[in-house]
Structure formats: C-alpha cells, structure tokens
Amino acid sequence: MPQIVLATINAKYIHAAFGLRYLAANLGPLRADSKILEFTAEQRPADMAEAILSLQPRIVGLGVYIWNAVQSLELVSILTKVAPKLKIILGGPEVSHEYEEQEIVHHADYVVTGEGEHSFRRLCTSILEGRPSLTKIHPGDTGDLDALVFPYALYDEQDIAHRVIYVEASRGCPFRCEFCLSSLDKKVRPFPMGQFLAQMETLLDRGVLHFKFVDRTFNLDLTSGSAILDFFLERMRPGLFLHFEMIPDRFPELLRERITRFPPGTLQFEVGIQSFDPEVGKRISRRQNFDKLRKNLDYIRDYTHVHLHTDLIIGLPGETADGFATGFDKLVAMQVEEIQVGVLKRLRGVPISRHTEAWNMRYSAHPPYEVLQTGAIDFPTMQRLKRFAQCWNSLVNRGNFHDTAPQIWEGKSPFHAFLAFSDWLFKHVGRVHSIALIRLGRYLMAFLIEHRDGDAALIDRSLRADFTRAGRKDPGVFRPLSAMLNEPSKRPQDAKKAAAPARQARHQGTA
C-alpha cells in the first residue's frame, strides 16, 4: 500500500493531471511509495474518498483548481470525518492565493502554494519521519528548472492511448495581463532544451502523436521555438498533432519558414487576443500591436496549414457589448477557424480585482468566479452574451455546421446576427446547449427560413452536406420547423411520467 496518494478531479477523463505527475516524479526516495489517483467531475466525492482510503495512505496530496473546487471541498470534508489521522496536503492554483478565507484550507492539514515539487517532497518526508511541520502554509519553489525530474515517464500506456499528453518547454510569462495567473510569474524560465527534446523523443518512440504544449508564450524565444519545430519536422509522421500557445504579434521569418513546412492537420496555434480595444488592453496591462497581429494572422491563414484557435473575453473592465462586437466582427473577417469566446473570471490572486469598484465589476462568489455584470454591461445583457458564447461554440467552433452557420450572418454583422439567433433559440427551447445535433440543425433551418428568408431546399442541401462531411449518417430532409416550434418540449420528467405505468406494471407482473 502506498503511503502517499496524489489525487485530483479532472474535468474530463481525457485530461491527464500534469501537475500530479510532476509531484510524483520529484518525490525522490518516496516516489516508489506513492500512487496517482485521477477522478473525473462525474464521480461522487464519497466514491473518491472510498477509493483513496482503500489504499490506506498516510498522506493525501490533492490538486485543487477552479473546475474541481466544490467537489474537492466535499471530498476533503468526508476524508477528515472518516479518517481524522490522514494528513491532507492541498496544492494547485485555487489554493495558492487568498487561502485564508477558504473553507477547504481550514479542513486541510497543509497547503503548498505555487510550484510545489520540492516543497511537497520535503513536507511528506517530515511527516513520514514523525516530525510533522508546525507551519500550515508552505510556499513553493520557483528556482532553476534544471533541478526538476521530468514527469513524462509517468504517462502510462492508457494515457498515451486515450488522454491528452501535456508537455512544457518553459514556465512563466513576461506579460502582465491582469486576468491571468501567469501575470504573477517573475520571468520565463526554460527547461534545458537538449534534455527536454530527449524526453519528446522517448514519447514519440512510445507512440505519442498528440502533444499539447502548455507554455504561455511558445514563440517568445525564437531559438528554442525553432529548435522544437525543427525537432518535429525531422520526425514527421502520420497523425502527428502539435498545439502551441502563441503571442499574436510576434511571428518573424525564422518561424514563418518552418511553419509553412508542416502538412495540414499537424499544427494548431492558440492565439490569445482577448480584446481589440487598445484602451481596454492598456487598462488590464496587456500590450498588443494590432497591425502586426492582423498581418500575422493573415499570413498564417494564406500561407500555412495551421489551424487557428483564437480567444476573446467578454466582460473586461470598461468594455461595452458594442465594443466586444466590433472586435468579434474583426476576428470573423480574418477567417480564423475558431473563436473561443470566454467570460472573464476573477481568479484568486490576479490583479484584475483592482478594477472591481472603479468599473463596478461584480463576480460570482462560487467557482469559476465568472463576472455577472460590469459598469458597461448589465446582468441581462451579460446573460445574453454568455448564451451567445455557448451557442457559437456548439454551432461554429465544433465545425458541425461549417457551410450552414455562416448563412446566419451573411451580409450582416456576425456578432449581432448570431446574437439574434442565440436569443431566438433560447426563446423557443429555453437553452442553447445540450441540444441534439439533428434537432439543432432543424432549429437552424427554421431560423434561416423565418428570419433570413432562406430557400428551404438550399438550406436542406447545406445541412445534409454538413452532416455527411463529418462522417455522420445522412439525416434525410430537414423539413421546415414551424410545426415543431409549437410542440411541447420533451423534458426528462415528462419521460419519467410516461414510463412509470409500464415500469409499475412490470413490478406487478402484469406486463
């Protein structure tokens, strides 16, 4: 039985816990006496506690993030009640800042803040040697990365076959964007390139094809960025896929030449733009050269096979809905593949909180701490914008309606036209998410006919082309939905009521 269990709750099974693997890899002599347990958000905290306690550990290290904070609190509460001798050590971004006010911290024995590889090992050693620390909060170390043991050997065969493989060539960020935890970093620190690439070679040899780089600024250091691109170009193979986060206004010839050599489907760039308003950018300490940004995105679109995933944020201090709309329409005109519309979150410890009173920023008190309203966007409008973001992700970002969705905004402002569709869908369905794809297609057809004077036969062909392109079965004719819009919604409780008599009959032996 391991004395140390490292656990966390992932949002989905496909997300491997990168931080836990770093902690385990750097436990030194204690590594053989540790075990990683990964849960998912669908599991019950009581079941998680049972799985942990079945291993009879003396220490549990729990990674806490905004997406698992609520369930982590419940898990820790259960563990402290049924296993009071168990030592609980918390770590992760959610408990690294403003920890004094957090209930989960009150329940736990210790907290390791920041980068915890060395601090966690020292704390576990002292506990197991019978000299537990009298200090609850243990700051992490942000020293030389040369001293860290790489975690990549801890990706097992199941991880390689079924999970995202996260890698990092550096830590830190030179920018000070006030909504981001990376703004708290002092500097960018690279891992030794030769040693890092040797690890990537081993992963490739083990069959890894999808690499997600978590570096905040992959193209900051052109020498290291070029070395990584050259490494993968020399080892190109079918199915290889690389994801990088890029600074949008830094894309010199040194990188351009290399990127043009990658075949279709290999590279994805995540480009954080967040806002096109220079005043908003200045307010949140975000510097961008918009002319260079536009030229770089144009070049990537016209001369490379890179898939562009771009980011905008709703609710930044002082930005109006119309201001966001202007930026959104600019980005649509650049013909990028994805526009991820995020909602501002007040993460613990980030400087964005300094604008709270001046700009009347009001955030949810519960994770993920999304903005509820600002001085520039009232609550009802913010709700509409959040539905807009969800709807855009379902219809456009996922590529389900590649040919049909653009007909919503043809000849109009993409933002205002799509917002009208989102409002219309919410009015008729009561939600804009968790709608079956075929039904969503039918609503889309109805909207295009009733509000865009579309030709039913042309829209039908467009929808069927979208379905078959994605490898789905041809759904047949998409009939106009004026009749369906008046049908009562088939909600889960209605289905239960309908099923109850038959179920009772089976119990009574009459069916």
In sequence order, the 6+-apart residues with CB closer than 8 A to the CB of 247 are 217, 219, 220
The stretch 491-511 carries a mean pLDDT of 54
Asked whether residue 49 is domain-assigned, the answer is yes
Question: What own/partner pairs with CB < 8 Å and gap ≥ 24 does 358-361 have?
Answer: 358/317, 359/317, 359/318, 361/315, 361/317
301 and 175 in a common domain: yes
What range does the domain containing 65 cover? 4-143
C-alpha dist (Å) from residue 188 to 68, 92, 345: 28, 19, 24
What are the structure tokens assigned to 214, written together?
Answer: 């978590």
Residue 494 domain-assigned? yes
Instruction: Please state, for a pLDDT cut of 90, what percent of the chain lies above it.
Output: 80
Residues 227 and 333 in one domain: yes
The CATH number of the domain where 15 resides is what? 3.40.50.280
Q: What is the radius of gyration, based on Cα positions, of the chain?
A: 25
Structure tokens at 107: 């329940």
pTM of the full structure: 0.90
pLDDT digits (tens, 9 = 90+) for 355-384: 999 999 999 999 999 999 999 999 999 999
CATH no. for residue 282?
A: 3.80.30.20
Residue 503 pLDDT class (50, 70, 90 cuts) = low
Residue 263 DSSP label: P
The pLDDT assigned to 330 comes to: 97
Asked whether residue 171 falls in the same domain as residue 270, the answer is: yes
Residue 488 is classified by DSSP as P
Q: Please indicate, yes or no, whether residues 190 and 337 belong to a single structural domain of this protein.
A: yes
Find all residues with CB under 8 Å of 287, minimum gap 6, and list them: 175, 281
Assess whether 283 and 420 both reside in one domain: no
**Kind of pairing, strands 34-40 and 4-10?**
parallel
Q: Identify the DSSP state of 491.
A: -
pLDDT at residue 254 in the model: 86
pLDDT value, residue 495: 45
Instruction: Count the Cβ atoms, other than its own, within 10 Å of residue 433.
Output: 12
Band of the pLDDT at 181, cuts 50, 70, 90?
confident
pLDDT tens digits along 64-106: 999 999 999 999 999 999 999 999 999 999 999 999 999 999 9
CA 382 to centroid of chain Cα atoms: 21
Sign, Cα dihedral of 17, 20, 25, 29:
negative
Q: What is the DSSP letter of 401?
A: T
- Domain co-membership, 10 together with 125: yes
Would 506 be classed as within a structural domain? yes
The reply to whether 131 and 175 lie within a common domain is no
pLDDT tens per residue, range 405-442: 999 999 999 999 999 999 999 999 999 989 999 899 99
Strand partners, 211: 165, 242
Residue 416 belongs to what H/E stretch?
helix 414-429
pLDDT above 80 for 136 = yes
9 phi/psi in degrees, rounded to 5: -115, 110
Distance, CA of 122 to chain centre: 31
Q: How many domains does the chain have?
A: 3
Give me the helices (H) in 152-267, please: 157-162, 193-205, 222-234, 253-259
Q: Other C-beta atoms within 10 Å of 447: how many?
A: 21
Angle between helices 414-429 and 437-452 (to 10 degrees): 120
Are 127 and 175 in the same domain? Answer: no
Contacts of 14 (CB under 8 A, 6+ apart): 162, 163, 164
Q: CA 347 to CA 205: how far, in whole Å? A: 38
Same domain assignment for residues 188 and 330: yes
How many percent of the chain have pLDDT more than 70? 93
What is the rounded average pLDDT of the residues 244-258?
Answer: 89
Q: What is the mean pLDDT of residues 216-224?
A: 87
Q: Which of 390, 397, 445 is nearest to 422 (CA)?
A: 390
Q: How high is the pLDDT of residue 483?
A: 47
Residues 302 and 231 in one domain: yes
> Are 80 and 224 members of one domain?
no
Residues 171, 101 within the same domain: no
144-154 mean pLDDT: 94
